[in-house]
Structure 1
């Protein structure tokens, strides 16, 4: 059975289009993500009206999918939400632009706003957007149970896209239409992998901020954060990074010296920090402020690297400056105190009740994927350039895999290795794939950064931009390197569409 509903794009505006990945950061990181997504939603509506005036009709379809594509004897199914926008389509031969969803709910915004939609208008393309299985509305009522999560994987997600391809091809009687897929962050990796594994279905792919190399211990994330905090191009400085590192060194010293009452008071913790697990959440929350602001630099007005560094360098008291950063974030997110309790932190991973009205990322599902496929754990315990607490350990991440998902610590690296063997890590040798990354984005560390003329991979590296910046609708205020990068992407896709 298939359920179809037509409506105007401006009717529903509460869900999110781009779901950007993290490993298991504290609540502060997720709060920044929420601010970013709300800003993106509001900006998309404003930008569309500014550029195109009235709205476009976007159709929503609930497509029945096998729960397990790789077991012919299984009859279980779920319904996957997809959006279709044919208003710019040059029927019947125009290209199909497939926007791939990720680790959260997908909104109709994915079919009416963004650089891929601008290019669809330019090239006469149909836009199809597919929500990822087990996120948003594309999940069964028991989908968060552990025995069901085994059906949540990138491989199953790619197989879903083949069925979406078949549905669109059959419904619109397509013959030789070229398909180009798009995705950012985890869906950026999926975009590259869809082209890599199903080249007979998709002609080319754009993979923005795509961490195609899975990595259990992702130390490089915070190394890039440190570099970004020191980059004068975006308002950073070496002094800023040094002050951040000094402040966290003092915190580690106070933790080891059992000065947790003072820490709880100074950083307005809702409860005690006497337990080691609560201390881990506490430093995670503090570090998450810097991680989130760097990853989404300038996406929320007034929340950027320049502001953080101005506060961190306004006096020689690095510890006091960090307190001000914490207070600034509390004010921004309307918190009277910071919840650093491990039980609250853990609740997002253990909750098995599906809430179809919830907004934001599917935390339980995504952490399952990190444990069973990708790792991506952002640590700080080894002697690297990481400026944060050494309490951000690999063990503190892996213990969640064991306690919540029954995946032992020694199995996670094996799953990560399988993912890299299966897809080719950061040397996939795919054809007609554009890898787009920003210098400020910590996730570029795991992407493809050099073009391969032999295979046909194109790398676009944008100085001074953060996570998935190229995917947004253009603005006159965009920095010149971002404008130039979009033109490179557009030119490459134009050349693909001319191929016979």
Structure 2
């Protein structure tokens, strides 16, 4: 029997985490940074750095335009390769796909894939997404260049990575690959299996929003339900307190009493302009959205912690102000920047900094405008606990302001994405769709088996991409059981592939 070489593609375990909540919510990005820093600190001193090397592969800027390729239009895509566990000539290869942020070498060292790599002697290859981190040309953030940023181009990049790694490590085309991914890259993982079935024999899609949706009202519906869920320390009173706080905020803004709010919530500047008011309420909402999406990732600031703070007094506004103060303390800031103009300046910046960490906001907004939507709104017909100022027009405004994309065109782009990939009923096989009940993104995922080989793993009480993290003694039993089930399915795929190879 020949040893099979396997590539597991995944995302979102230790680097900056994918998929933001409201575009205007700066606190959400701060929470992502806190989660990242905590994960890196937990791993510091445990994982040997010398086992990871950095590589760059030359990719066509446009895989589907031969004239562009003939003209030599390319970019360099960054990879990190970890050979710590690799058993040459017989070990599998795990390919880690990065989503909409900077790739860290830690991504090739830890999490569920690393645990599996240690078990099977795998080589781990982490691939950065085009136009993020260091995988971008000097003019990559300019509008004319952004037309080359799409999920279709990213999948074609993976096909080239497959070829590059196969040649570098002397792997034949007969060696089966398996893709893993989480969040946006979880969708990429599923789509890679659907669109490139000759390259991957199976896929794990964790917390994957495979259904694109312009007005994603369901995100905040799940946030509300999670805040009431007793399994994670939520209560009905907690959700009511948050809802009442935002009702008071909307009323005060309507009355023009912004001075009280500026003092309560430590705003760096007045929130008189309607767009600054929108940024203000979005920042406050993003605190709760971020802490729910990454529940149990920020010590002391999880759903249980939110509800503890929101029930200290009978004044919802004062309680929300206390939560805001705690986030400011954790983020080491003295006031909150609620300036829409400053946010616009940051997103409008087209200067590339390859050493910058974190998510690429300009790039991700482009992707939402041109492919996915994913706008988390508080339109009137929902049970959203946040401000009603956070509506669809406010979320799509940036598409027209920065990219001259009419908001009326976005639903057409979203519809094409679903037609191209199949939405939440992709036609494929050997795909695992894993989701947590607390994660708001599960609303756009696959929650029940589509067929015997497209299986759903739904994990009660868990948040965004929890199954892709390293196992922990504090993990709830349902999460441990889910990882075991996922591992078992993958191992069955590999056994089937090895039998087929012998035959």
Taking structure 1 as the reference length, what is the TM-score of the superposition?
Answer: 0.93
Match of 1:10 in 2: none
Match of 1:27 in 2: 26
- CA separation in 2, counterparts of 1:322 and 1:21? 21
The size of the alignment, in residue pairs, is: 480
- CA separation in 2, counterparts of 1:469 and 1:166? 30
Give, in angstroms, the shift of residue 23 of structure 1.
Answer: 4.6
Give, in angstroms, the shift of residue 181 of structure 1.
Answer: 1.3
* 1:81 and 2:69 are equivalent in the alignment: no
Deviations for 1:146-193, whole angstroms, at most 9, x for unmatched residues?
100000000000000000001111222212222111111111110111
User: Is this contact kept in 2: 1:85–1:111, CA < 8 A?
Assistant: yes
- CA separation in 2, counterparts of 1:352 and 1:337? 27
Is 35-44 or 457-466 further displaced after alignment?
Answer: 35-44
Deviations for 1:194-246, whole angstroms, at most 9, x for unmatched residues?
01100000111111111011111000000000001001111110010011111
Deviations for 1:76-110, whole angstroms, at most 9, x for unmatched residues?
00000012223433432433222111101111112
Higher relative contact order (CA 8 A, sep 6+): 2
Match of 1:430 in 2: 428
Match of 2:314 in 1: 316
Match of 2:485 in 1: 488
| Unmatched tracts of structure 1, length 5 or more | 1-14
Give, in angstroms, the shift of residue 269 of structure 1.
Answer: 1.1
- CA separation in 1, counterparts of 2:49 and 2:458? 33
User: Is this contact kept in 2: 1:100–1:131, CA < 8 A?
Assistant: yes
Q: Secondary structure at the match of 1:476?
A: coil
- CA separation in 1, counterparts of 2:18 and 2:270? 33
User: Is this contact kept in 2: 1:311–1:321, CA < 8 A?
Assistant: yes
Considering only aligned residues, what root-mean-square deviation do their CA atoms show, in Å? Answer: 1.4
Equivalent runs, 1:171-182 vs 2, <5 Å: 171-175=168-172, 176-182=174-180
- CA separation in 1, counterparts of 2:41 and 2:261? 37
Equivalent runs, 1:66-145 vs 2, <5 Å: 66-74=60-68, 75-145=72-142
Q: Secondary structure at the match of 1:410?
A: helix
Q: Please list every run of at least 4 consecutive aligned residues from structure 1 whose deviation after the TM superposition is greater than 4 angstroms.
A: none
Match of 1:334 in 2: 332
User: Is this contact kept in 1: 2:59–2:157, CA < 8 A?
Assistant: yes
User: Is this contact kept in 2: 1:93–1:177, CA < 8 A?
Assistant: no
Match of 2:11 in 1: none
Is 260-269 or 106-115 further displaced after alignment?
Answer: 260-269
Deviations for 1:271-304, whole angstroms, at most 9, x for unmatched residues?
1111100000000011011001001111121111
- CA separation in 2, counterparts of 1:391 and 1:343? 17
Match of 2:303 in 1: 305
Give, in angstroms, the shift of residue 45 of structure 1.
Answer: 3.4
User: Is this contact kept in 1: 2:100–2:132, CA < 8 A?
Assistant: yes
| Unmatched tracts of structure 2, length 5 or more | 1-13
- CA separation in 1, counterparts of 2:125 and 2:331? 34
Is 195-204 or 255-264 further displaced after alignment?
Answer: 255-264
Match of 1:151 in 2: 148
- Residues 458 and 21 of structure 1, relative CA distance in 2, 3 Å threshold: farther
- CA separation in 1, counterparts of 2:33 and 2:49? 25
- CA separation in 1, counterparts of 2:410 and 2:450? 31
* 1:443 and 2:437 are equivalent in the alignment: no
Equivalent runs, 1:29-428 vs 2, <5 Å: 29-45=28-44, 48-49=46-47, 54=48, 57-74=51-68, 75-175=72-172, 176-428=174-426
